[in-house]
């Protein structure tokens, strides 16, 4: 078994100001102060035997980055239900498939950059409408109230795009809350609770919502403000995994199968995993996060940072076998 904090610190570059005085898992109530690369390994590069605060590697656990067979079958069934629909939600060859985003400022900055790039891409279906419903300051805690203002704004944006809630069938959601505190167990379970409620709200608002692709945050090791620094940005990935695995394990609050009872959530899958350890290239694709990829607060993405996420989103939706069918109109 490999302790990921220790392995990461062996890889820290000179930009790193502080890697902590011990293993975070021994006292994770206070995050260390970091300036660049931090002693962490991307979740999709962790093996089944690696551990971070008791959590093993792999986006879906057990060192695996693809959904287990049961969840894959659930996603494939959901893909068959995603089809062009008219304004009332009835399948129609002349209808639309709507992809929305739900989350906070980082998400709207990234998704609004993705939309025009995707709209120009020849791989995108002519039946697909992309609407950015994410909004500045609207974290999961805000969206958790089903009557909160961001839901009304989301409906306004759908209307402006000449589509309806009944045509929304796919969502990209980026779970995050502002100024998290405490250990993974503490802040993570708050984010889990809020995101679970948001997923239920989304299914209630958009009855034809079939799949929600979840992405955790980008690197946050350059920031000094408490808005959402490391290791909270990194640890958000475990919250995504908890939600997906709980759905796999039959959590009734996340049920997406009508044969098992009331459907309360869409099928949950990972979207693109966006975290990389600052200037250290990710093994799978070389992704890095440099200071110039961030705005002055070193938390929100700059233009180059937004474009990095937009390209990750585009390639994921255009090529992933559990997204390509609706994105490309196959």
Q: What is the 3-state secondary structure (H, E, C) of 199-212?
A: HHHHHHHCCCCCEE
CB 58 within 8 A of CB 238: no
Determine, yes or no, domain membership for 162: yes
Domain assignment of residue 278, yes or no: yes
20 pLDDT above the threshold of 90: no
Residue 241 located in a structural domain: yes
Mean of the pLDDT values across residues 114-138? 99
Q: Looking at the predicted structure, is the pLDDT value of residue 32 above 50?
A: no
- CA 233 → CA 56, 151, 205, 275, 276, distances in Å? 17, 25, 28, 8, 11
pLDDT at res. 37: 64
- Report yes or no on 285 lying in a domain: yes
pLDDT of residue 1: 52
pLDDT higher than 90, residue 36: no
The structural domain count of the chain equals 1
Question: Is the pLDDT confidence value at 94 over 90?
Answer: yes
Strands (E), the chain: 97-102, 128-132, 168-173, 211-214, 267-270
Given this model, what pLDDT does residue 196 score? 99
Is residue 60 situated within a structural domain? no
Residue 224: pLDDT band (50, 70, 90) is confident
pLDDT of residue 21 exceeding 90, the answer is: no
Residue 39 has pLDDT above 90, yes or no: no
Residue 259 belongs to what domain range? 68-325
Distant-in-sequence, close-in-space partners of 326: CB < 8 Å, separation ≥ 6: 79, 82, 97, 125, 128, 169, 170
Query: What is the arithmetic mean of pLDDT over 85-112?
Result: 99
pLDDT of residue 225: 87
As a whole number of angstroms, the distance between CA 75 and CA 167 comes to 18
The pLDDT score that the predictor gives to residue 81 is 98
Mean pLDDT taken over the chain: 91
Q: Is the per-residue pLDDT at 66 higher than 90?
A: yes
Q: What is the pLDDT of residue 265?
A: 99
pLDDT at 19: 32
What is the residue whose two structure tokens read 């690197």? Answer: 219
Q: What is the pLDDT of residue 312?
A: 99
Q: Which of 276, 102, 131, 262 is nearest to 198 (CA)?
A: 102
pLDDT one-digit tens code per residue, 294-319: 999 999 999 999 999 999 999 999 99
pLDDT of residue 3: 54
Domain-located, residue 30: no
- Return the pLDDT at 330: 85
Residue-wise pLDDT tens digits, 133-177: 999 999 999 999 999 999 999 999 999 999 999 999 999 999 999
- The phi, psi pair for 142, rounded to 5°, reads -75, -45
Instruction: Between 164 and 34, name the one with better pLDDT.
Output: 164
Nearest CA to 275 out of 322, 241, 318 is that of 241
In-domain check, residue 250: yes
- What per-residue confidence (pLDDT) applies to 142? 98
Q: Could you tell me the CATH number of the domain that includes residue 254? A: 3.40.50.1110
Whether 53 has a pLDDT exceeding 50, the answer reads yes
pLDDT in tens, 237-273: 999 999 999 999 999 999 999 999 999 999 999 999 9
Is 181 part of any domain?
Answer: yes
């Amino acid at each position: 078994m490999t302790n990921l904090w220790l392995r990461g610190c062996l890889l820290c570059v000179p930009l790193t100001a502080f890697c902590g005085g011990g293993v975070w898992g021994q006292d994770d109530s206070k995050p260390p102060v970091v300036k660049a690369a931090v002693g962490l390994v991307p979740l999709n590069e962790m093996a089944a035997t690696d551990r971070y605060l008791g959590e093993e590697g792999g986006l879906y656990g057990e060192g695996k980055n693809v959904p287990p067979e049961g969840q894959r079958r659930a996603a494939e069934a959901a893909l068959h239900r995603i089809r062009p629909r008219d304004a009332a939600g009835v399948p129609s060859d002349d209808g639309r498939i709507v992809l929305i985003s739900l989350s906070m400022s980082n998400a709207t900055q990234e998704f609004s950059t993705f939309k025009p790039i995707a709209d120009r891409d020849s791989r995108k279906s002519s039946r697909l409408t992309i609407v950015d419903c994410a909004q500045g300051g609207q974290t999961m805690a805000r969206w958790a109230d089903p009557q909160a203002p961001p839901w009304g704004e989301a409906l306004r944006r759908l209307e402006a795009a000449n589509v309806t809630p009944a045509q929304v069938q796919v969502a990209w959601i980026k779970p995050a809350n502002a100024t998290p505190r405490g250990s993974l167990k503490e802040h993570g379970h708050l984010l889990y609770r809020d995101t679970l409620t948001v997923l239920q709200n989304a299914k209630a608002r958009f009855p034809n919502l079939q799949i929600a692709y979840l992405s955790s945050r980008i690197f946050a090791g350059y920031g000094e403000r408490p808005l959402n620094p490391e290791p909270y940005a990194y640890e958000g990935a475990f919250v995504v995994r908890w939600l997906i695995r709980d759905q796999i394990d039959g959590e009734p609050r996340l049920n997406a199968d009508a044969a098992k009872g009331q459907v309360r959530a869409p099928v949950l899958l990972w979207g693109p995993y966006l975290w990389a350890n600052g200037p250290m290239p990710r093994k799978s694709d070389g992704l890095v996060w440099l200071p110039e990829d961030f705005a002055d607060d070193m938390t929100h993405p700059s233009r180059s940072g937004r474009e990095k996420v937009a390209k990750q989103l585009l390639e994921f939706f255009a090529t992933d076998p559990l997204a390509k069918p609706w994105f490309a109109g196959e």
